[in-house]
Amino acid sequence: MVDDKSKRDFRERDRVSAEEDDEVEHFAQKVALTPQQICELIKKHGNDRETLERVAKAFGRR
């Protein structure tokens, strides 16, 4: 079945929302950090997913 393209999701897929616990947890698992660490990275670097992935890789190497 083809997805209905007229029904768009309101979330932006290129952003990580700090207000959405499940989204933070999913992203934290993806980059092997804790949700608390992800929230700290969002506060410091913003919520752009690409930037967070890059920073998380560097953060995880410490």
Amino acid making up residue 3: D
Residue 4, pLDDT score: 61
Residue 38, pLDDT score: 95
Burial call 11-45: b when 16+ CB within 10 Å, e when fewer: eeeeebebeeeebbeebbeebebebebbeebbeee
Picking from 22, 9, 13, 8, the residue whose alpha carbon sits closest to that of residue 47 is 13
38 to each of 3, 4, 6, 8, 52, how far by Cα in Å?
A: 31, 33, 32, 27, 8
Residue 36, pLDDT score: 96
Residue 13, pLDDT score: 80
Each domain of the chain, given as residue ranges in start order, spans 32-62
Q: pLDDT tens across 4-49, in order?
A: 666 656 556 889 999 999 999 999 999 999 999 999 999 999 999 9
Residue 59, pLDDT score: 79
